[in-house]
Amino acid sequence: MNKRLVISALIAILAAAGIGGWLLLRDAGGADAGPASLAQAPTYQSGPFRLAIAVSPETPVVGKNRLAIRLEDSDGNPVSGASIKAVATMPAMGGMAAMQAPAELEETEPGRYAGPFNLKMSGAWPLTLQIKKAGLGKTRISFDLATGRQGLQLATGGRRLGGGAKGEMDSGGQVADAASDMPTINLDNRRRQLIGLETGKVERRQLVREIRAVGEVVYDETELSDVTLKYDGWVGNLKIDYVGAPVERGQMLFGIYSPELFSAQQEYLQTLQRLSRRGPDDSLVQAARQRLMLWDIAPAQVRAIERRGEPIKYLPIHAPATGTVVEKNVVEGSAVKKGQILMRIADLSTVWIDAQVYDSELPLIDAGMTAEVTLPYLPDAHYEAEVDYVYPYFQGQTRTGQIRLSLPNPDGRLKPNMYAEVELQADLGKRLSVPESAVLFSGDARVVFVDLGDGRLQPRYIETGQRNEDYIEVTSGLEAGETVVTSGNFLIDAETRLKTGIKQW
């Protein structure tokens, strides 16, 4: 009898422990949000993905909860191997910092992800999902979640396709907009006037972007000439003795004495004398003459040597081009080596402007674009120029691209190494755009408030492209003809977060 009582008591204790343990597991969120929960959950479209999401318990509790997600592509096929970051965030309040509750998601079967998350206190915990999958793309979608309130409601970043309870309410007690399932707030005319609310249209506009670049005046590299020799020697009879001297093509720069050159002249004259009967076209005479000319001795100088009948000790070296001497490496009596740059001559009637452009602006610039050039030294002067060339590499230190413009400089006002300011106008064509003041920026997020009429305003995530001083291109999230708020955005932002509980942008 006593044994039967003991066994009955043990069975009762084990049964109670089993039921209590199951209840504890359920209340702590240990039980997965199973197929039935996901089957009843609404399906949402967000970017390239379709998803259903459920939380267990259905009414989130302080402590452990569990999240389950079914992820598909636009055709309804399961998406495996996706990267999903799910974080519930309680916004900062007063002196309390914001708190986060990340979900530790794992893929339980193809296209199904589940994992626990821990809510540390009661209140609103807006939930944000960031989903990425190579080959498909990425998206971001947010839901309203709160302890003591059943289920999840879509906040931003998607639209409901079907399933779930109809007429879902946002946390402010208003029906989500049927077109996009985004929460809305109501502002009457009086409050609109108080906050100075203004609106603008989403439409296709002709966008022109102004690009400013800093440049430098440099030599036209196609008009540079170097004076070098093909033999060693000594400089004498220096005619051009300072940097900056103007020279004309053929003008004598200096004389050069070279024992090797002097010997070649003697050999040529002796060959002429020995073979004078054969004439100047004799092969030996031609070979001796060719030797002199290969050393850049001009035919006129060869004829002068023939007339003199004796070698020229200091053979004149002439300017190869008209321009200005910008580099001089010799003085009277200098010993020079073959290949050494003795002088550099630049034609300054045309100069280049090398300008640095940010990498984000470089794709907007093409050869042939017009530009306006100004110089701090000449505030009254404005020069019209064209982009000659876009360099195919980046500057190592500044990580900027470089463009080149060509400017005529007949009066010599533009001097190499001057700084210049370059302004270009990039025509972007007609693009869907909104006023720049309509967009709120927060990290990677771009948000606008759409005026739905009847006092309703709706926050909406958008993707942006090019911009100028007045307008920003919209690549997704808005359609032509919609109306967006352009003034009072920050006050409306605060109003939206208070009434709908959605996360701070």
Integer angstrom CA distances of residue 502 from 44, 51, 184, 446: 17, 20, 11, 15
So what's the architecture of 32-178 in CATH? Sandwich (2.60)
pTM over 0.75: no
What integer pLDDT is reported at residue 423 of this predicted model? 94
What integer pLDDT is reported at residue 277 of this predicted model? 55
Which residues have CB under 8 Å from 307's CB, separation 6+? none
Which residues have CB under 8 Å from 311's CB, separation 6+? 262, 265, 266, 269, 305
Where in the chain are the domains? 1-27, 32-178, 189-207+430-500, 211-220+348-428, 230-334
What integer pLDDT is reported at residue 495 of this predicted model? 58
Distance in angstroms (rounded) separating the CA atoms of residues 257 and 231: 10
Q: Record the tokens describing residue 11, joined without a space.
A: 């069975």
Q: Which of 45, 48, 129, 47 is nearest to 85 (CA)?
A: 129
Check the CA dihedral 130-131-132-135 and report its sign.
Answer: negative
Q: Residue 316 pairs with which residues in a beta bridge?
A: 255
Q: Which of 81, 115, 84, 118 is nearest to 99 (CA)?
A: 118
Given a contact cutoff of 8 angstroms between Cβ atoms, the answer to whether 387 and 368 are in contact is yes
3-state secondary structure 144-171: ECECCCCCCEEEECCEEEECCCCCCECC
What is the CATH number that goes with domain 189-207+430-500? 2.40.420.20
So what's the architecture of 211-220+348-428 in CATH? Beta Barrel (2.40)
Q: Which of 65, 61, 54 is nearest to 122 (CA)?
A: 61
pLDDT by residue for the chain (505 residues), tens only, comes to 444 544 444 444 434 433 333 333 333 333 445 555 788 888 999 889 999 999 999 999 999 999 999 999 988 999 999 999 999 998 776 667 788 999 999 999 999 999 999 999 998 898 999 999 998 889 989 888 999 888 888 877 778 886 654 434 333 333 344 344 556 777 778 888 888 889 999 999 999 999 999 999 999 999 999 999 999 999 999 999 999 999 999 999 999 999 998 988 888 888 887 766 555 556 777 787 888 888 888 888 888 888 888 898 999 999 999 999 999 999 999 999 999 999 999 999 999 999 999 988 899 999 999 999 998 888 788 899 999 999 999 887 888 999 999 999 998 899 999 999 999 999 989 999 999 999 988 777 888 999 988 888 888 889 998 888 899 999 998 999 999 999 887 777 765 654 544 444 4
For 297-361, where are the alpha helices, taking DSSP H only? 299-308
Q: Record the tokens describing residue 376, joined without a space.
A: 């701090």
